[in-house]
Structure 1
Amino acid sequence: MNNSIVVIPTYNEIENIEAIIRDIFCLKQSFDVLIIDDGSPDGTANVVKNLIAEFSGSLHLEERKGKLGLGTAYIHGFKWALQRGYEFIFEMDADFSHPPVDLIRLYHACAVENHDVAIGSRYITGVNVVNWPINRVLMSYFAGYYVRLITGMPVMDPTAGFICYTSKVLKTINLDEVRFIGYAFQIEMKFNAWKFGFDVVEVPIIFTDRTKGASKMSRGIFKEAVLGVISLKINSLFKRYIPKHQALK
């Protein structure tokens, strides 16, 4: 069995889903793919079902009823992957904002360089964002500054959604206690990994905004991130983080 799987949550991604799946399976390195679809009314799941026979054993689909949120989709996918023994578990978007070819670089960072978490970072070498309006670039960049200021976590792109987690990280974090569902989910996962003492590295990528389909960004998601960072920091003061070398004994 492959030791790597890419978890991709979808909601109305019919314009992108087949292309992103094919691009991943065309890579020189082998990755399995798990699609978590939240009842997309546009038929995204049906497209995936039609591809499963072609990529038998490597392409998987989990369907959920209703739009339940990005964070819960990833938690569902992480648990699914851990139950099946995957060692390197990736998260990425379906809209090509995360270049599929960079999956190989994230894998290398964890599998060869022995980092525990590898983040596809938009800001570790400047601002590497294409097709975003300047106000959104500034909002995203300064959100990272805000997260670092409040939490002390030394990550330049804490809201990034293109990540490789090793299984030991996801086994150590209590996934049932992860509270947030939007950008705050991304921050919470990285914060937990960092607090547990795992080695987190940022790998520079070029982020390109979607050209097909609609963004899922909303005011509610942004508000959750702003307020969530404060509660995350406060709650961490009352939580014991067992270092990684002890947590898995």
Structure 2
Amino acid sequence: MCILFFHFSPNSPSAYRFILAANRDEYYARPTKPADFWENNRNILSGLDLEKGKEGGTWLGISRKGKCAALTNYLQPITNIDALGRGHLVSNFLTEDLDGLTYLKKISLEGHAYNGFNLLTVDFSNTKADMMCYYGNKGDQEPRALDPGIYGLCNSLLDTSWQKLVNGKKLFTEAINKSCGLPPENLVNELMKVINNEELSNTVILVDAKGHVTFTERCLLKPETNEWKVSSYQFELET
């Protein structure tokens, strides 16, 4: 199960504006590239899909220009093998010059062309209010901006009351409260404990009040030997 927990506190004067902890549960045989800045665009940081026909897509990414997006697949019994690749929903947002709500409204007009998905977008700005938006093509709501708060998202709609999601959201909240005021690495460690199970990829993103980004990924390199790699990146938002 793919799970995202996130805390959105736009333009917080003293705490984190954004905290995200994510588990990516994907087929281990599916070829992917661990998180790094793109070779053809050093402003964007994400993992990349390498599967034939879906190259260049991603499930989670952030840019120096103040854009972030995350995707989960919606659990459905039958999928359309001819549907468009969902990973490009994230990579396109990170590269296009559209705010999140405008982008999601555009995507909602063609949502039927994809298998089920949930898409989160964040626009960070050091001069105006941050904005976080959500759209799920299997729901009955239009794309919408989210209020400040703590949310959970898995392979159903936003804040679905699945027990695993409810329990994880509680632990996520406790980890944030426990690490309040401590260095970023302490919070990263606590959040990794919350999501640290045997999934393909665990990711934590922190954006502080001054626009400093800490991006940490724990990625499974070799399932047969349980070999993991932890990578961490830090940079300033250019917004």
Q: Same fold (TM over 0.5)?
A: no
Higher helix share: 1
Question: What TM-score does the superposition give when structure 2 sets the normalisation length?
Answer: 0.28
Query: Counting strand residues as a fraction of each chain, which structure ranks higher?
Result: 2
